[in-house]
Amino acid sequence: MPKLHRKDDGRPLRDAMARAGLSIPALAKATQRVDPAGKGVSAATVGRLAGQGKTARESCELKTAWLVADALHKETSAPLQDLFAMPTHSTSIIERSTPDAEEE
């Protein structure tokens, strides 16, 4: 599954957090409430997605982005696509596997 990329170095995420009045730990807690399993996203992961420094993370799993966006959507109505983007289409033409007929 492709990873989602945060938009504009996380600025839309930080803006949505500010509009919602949520700190990093508060957003992490809010993700627990929207996660059917109750686990949510850790404050460290939220911090890396919202951050701007060396530890900032540019991409995350779909589930992580979904939980963060869902928690924020409850407060700001910001949809997932405002916060995260799908990676660009790969133009790689490298064959990744060997056809069965060519195996030795």
pTM confidence score: 0.79
> Which of 25, 30, 20 shows the shortest CA–CA distance to 47?
25
> Which of 26, 24, 13 shows the shortest CA–CA distance to 73?
13
Sequential pLDDT tens for the chain (104 residues): 678 999 999 999 999 999 999 999 999 999 999 999 999 999 999 999 999 989 999 999 999 999 999 999 888 888 888 899 976 665 555 556 665 555 55
